Structure formats: structure tokens, C-alpha cells
Amino acid sequence: MKLVIMLTALITALAICSNANAQTQVVVGAYNFPPIAVVQDSGQVEGLLAELLTELNERQGNYTFVAFATSPKRRHRDFADARYDVIFFESDEWNWDSVPHQVTRPILKDEEVYIALDKPDRGQDFFDDIRSRRIVAMLGYHYGFTDGVTDEAELRERFDIELSHSHHRNIELILADRPSVAEVAVVSRSYLSLYFRNNPDQRDEFLVSHEVDQSYLLHAIARPDSPVSAESLEDLIDRLMEDGVYQALVRSHGLQLP
């Protein structure tokens, strides 16, 4: 009897190991794009992306999704060099034309707006001629007012612009009320909503543009030889949507479904 129990336990353990070994690792690129992805200096990823990867890992047994920290400027090269397999929440209109890839249907929606310090003499016409303003924006991001250009030298030639790695810093520069440094910041709607939730007393200090800089639909993008295809990624997202899990994650970060 003891021998039977021992053999049963051994077979179960071998089956578990076999299943674990059968899981295919999928490396997911992540760059700082709060609140969608927050990449710490250590490389740890937080935000919607981290929560999505956790759900994907817990709810299926074919793939193990692990995050790989890249940057807005480096993400296309790292993808082409196969340093990661998939990137979630990316627009295929953001300089992906020259990189072979697969793309899912849209899975998220967001937009960017202009913000300035609210003053008695300011109205929506303050944003009419953005080129005449001292702008702060994110390094490596694609914007409507720049026609998608991300090259720093070209942007500085065309605009009076300061580029940084932090939405929070850019908002703080507006609050500092130093027009020679920053008059207008370009911020995603989702991040601005997050900032106002965390700092409700500051909401009335800002003038927010009614017109958006750009609206965009975000997809998952996979390499042509990725261990998981775009079609399979759609299926995995669909399973989370059937349970309402994906929708809840999106809304918890002030984001929108497409």
C-alpha cells in the first residue's frame, strides 16, 4: 500500500514538473508609460501591464509572461533584435512600419491633452498656437502636434520644448509658474486623471484643453516568430473579458476600452 502511495505521489510530481516545463516563456517589452506601465529604476514593472501579466499567468498554463524593461526610444530596436517577443498597449502607427510584426485588434484607448496653469486672463485660446508656447513633453513619445516625430534635435529645432522621463515632473513644472521653463505640458488623459485622484486639491489650478492633441487605439504587437501569435493573444484577452477581469483592470486605472 505504501509503495502504491509513493508511486502515485511520484507520478503526480512528474506530471506537475512536466506541465511546468511545457509552459512557453513569452518576454514582454515594457517602457515607462504610466498608468499603463510604470517601470522602476530596478526594472520592476507596475501598473496595468503588470496586473495583466499576473492575470494571464494565473489563468492559463501554456505560457509564462515575463516583463523586460526597455525605453520609448529603444523599444523598436530591442523588438527587432528579439530582446522581447511581445509589447502590449502600443499603437502600430508609432514607427512600426519598418519592423516586421503581428498586431492584435485594439485592446485599449487613450488620448493626450494640453494643460497650463489656470489664470484669470487665460481661456481655451491659450492652446490655439501651441508652437508659440514653451512646451514640456515626454522623451521618445509620439504626439499629434509633432506629427509623430520623436527625434530630439528635430523637435528642439521646430519647437520651444523640454523633454523628460516623467509626467509628474512635467506637471510640477507647470505648477511652478515659470513661463520661461514651461507654459504647456502634454499629458495623457489617463495619467492626468490619476494625478487629480491623488491630488484633488490641485484640480482647480489647471486649465485643461478641450481639444485633444491626439486620440489613439492601443494593441498588442508580436514578433513574426514570437512564441505566442497575435491571434492567440486576442484569445487570451477574450478569456479575461468573458470573466469581466480585463474590463475591471482597465477601469481601475482610469483607462478606456476601445
- Single-letter residue type at 229: S
- Single-letter residue type at 96: W
Q: Which residue has the cell 490641485?
A: 202
Cα Dmax for the chain: 88
Q: 10-residue block means of pLDDT along the chain (258 residues)? A: 44 44 89 92 92 96 96 94 97 92 96 96 95 94 93 94 93 95 95 92 96 95 97 97 96 90
The DSSP code sequence of 154-172 is HHHHHSEEEEES-HHHHHH
The pLDDT value recorded for residue 22 is 66
**CATH T-level fold of 111-214:** D-Maltodextrin-Binding Protein; domain 2 (3.40.190)
Q: What is the CATH number of domain 24-109+216-252?
A: 3.40.190.10
Cis amide bond preceding 120, omega within 30: no
The pLDDT value recorded for residue 14 is 43
pTM score of the predicted model: 0.83
- Portions of the chain given CATH number 3.40.190.10: 24-109+216-252, 111-214
